[in-house]
Chain A
Amino acid sequence: MGEQDRSIYSTFGMPRMLLIALLFIGILSIVSLYLGFDAYLSDKQARASLYLLLGTGGFALIGYMFFRSKSVMEKVEMIPQLEVITTLDCPSCGLKNIRAFQRGDYLFKEAEECTRCKGKTVIAKIHGRERQKPK
């Protein structure tokens, strides 16, 4: 897993050619905007509109290319950590208790003492839920 992996990481971000192309479009857009304002000040409305349209269009294209090149993979969490909840049921007094999952828990396992009747509780439910994001 050595050599080939490094070759992938050598071009982080945008490909060089694409960056050059975007830079080129950017320069053209600036020139176009300049010409647009120049024509506008010289009272050449039609020419001004065309150059301004080209200039803003160029910047919109740059923005779009950056946006489009964002990978769908970026939305994937590294290792999604669901919050796992264990529900304990006391068969003798019916008390339900909920706590965070502990390693070694499994369904129908006899768990800790019931806090009310001191009987043995049983794990009745284990389920995961999305971790609530801190506000």
Chain B
Amino acid sequence: MYQLISQFPPSNDIGSIFQFIFSLAFLVYLFYAQRIQTMMMLKQVEGALTKLKVIRDEGRNVAIKTVKEVGKLKDDPTPHIDQMLEEFVIGPVDLDPAGIVWKLQQIVNVREERFEEEVKAIAPEASESETHNIENLIEAAMALNTIYKVIRHFYLLGKRTMNIYIILQVQMILPLIAQEVEAYASALQAFVQGTPIGDGAGALTAAILMKGYESRPVAKDTVIAEVPFEGRTLIVMKAQGPGGNVGRPGDAVNKAMEEREGKISQIIMIDAAAKLEGEELGSIAEGVGAAIGGVGVEKYMIEEVATKYKVPLYAVVIKEDIKDVVAPMKEPIFNGAEKAVDSVKRFVRMRSKEGDVVIVVGVGNTVGIAQ
């Protein structure tokens, strides 16, 4: 363009000035193009951060308001909640990975118990279910706080150093961050009201199967029911609802297996799974393996006991978007859980014979779902 415009000699003074300015602008752009691009990216990240701060603050305020309403503590719980929002967990050392799972389990359990105690301290009047819901609500607010702080860190670092590669990292993942933030923002509504969430699809499947049968606690926050089905016995387990918790499926499966000395024909696990773009919300997929997320402790325990007794592990997953995982459960996911019940029954008919015992594990957060 510069060469092109030079071919046309200026016809007057304004033309000469214009050509000079244009040439200057061209030179400036030549040397400062990356800086301009960096500034534009910073602007994008700044916009995201502004919005993120508003959502983070809203999450904190919702948590405080709910604790005040439900907990009825005489003192103001705000400082305590602020302190909880900043809590962290340090993972075990992995230089020598042997036995790391048990160390991780110990840390996770301590964290869980400590968190529960803290919630009880700030919400003494809350029922068991409400306590679990408040725990989940504060965890959602914690997640929003952490995301905000990490993005702010990279933003300020990038702004200070004007390093395009630092800013680029954040700018590139903004669409994914936006999705995650949207999910946690939806979780606030779900945990304040106590509605079932997308992650509860597995727990809902188990609840439908055990409906009408007596359930008993088998591990911390986990219940089990023996359900007769076409000459077989289904040992159905899920987290204890309707409060929001995921229970301890690893412990529950271990206990159920040991109680029957490993005489189990198969283990079927049902869980919600992230769908890929283009896949239908609430669609079902079947596979092999332990369908369970989290840090890996529960998965490890289930795989260990299944291997010990050579019991096949089957999985049924209900597909959903990441933003549906902690949002109030949408109708297609609810219908997906009903389809998963049929899928489990088909599995049992096909892969077991009369008199067999099958373990069915409904994995996921059971908020709003009783048994």
Contacts and interface: CB of A to CB of B under 8 A. Distances in A.
B51 A105 contact: no
A75 B178 contact: yes
B369 A77 contact: no
Contact of B178 (A50, A68, A72): A72
12 contacts: A18-B36, A25-B25, A35-B18, A47-B11, A50-B4, A69-B43, A69-B47, A72-B44, A72-B174, A76-B178, A108-B369, A128-B195
State the majority secondary structure of interface residues on B. helix
Which 6 pairs across A and B sit closest by C-beta, in order of nearness?
A: A71-B47, A128-B328, A106-B242, A73-B48, A73-B51, A127-B331
Interface of A: 4-5, 7-9, 11-12, 14-15, 17-18, 21, 24-25, 28, 31-32, 34-35, 39, 42, 44, 46-47, 50, 54, 65, 68-82, 84, 101, 103-109, 125-129
A78 B55 contact: yes
Given A73-B178, A126-B195, A128-B328, A79 B18 contact: no
B328 A69 contact: no
Interface residues of B, number: 64
Nearest to B48: A73
A71 B18 contact: no
Contacts of B239: none
Contacts of B349: none
Name, among A24, A50, A105, A106, the residue most crowded by chain B CB atoms within 10 Å (CB to CB): A106
Nearest to A107: B369
A39 B58 contact: no
Contacts of A54: 1, 5, 22
Contacts of B188: 79
A73 B52 contact: yes
Interface stretch (B95-103, B179-187, B218-226): B179-187
B364 interface: no
Contact of A108 (B25, B51, B185, B211): B211
Interface string B332-347: 0110000000000000
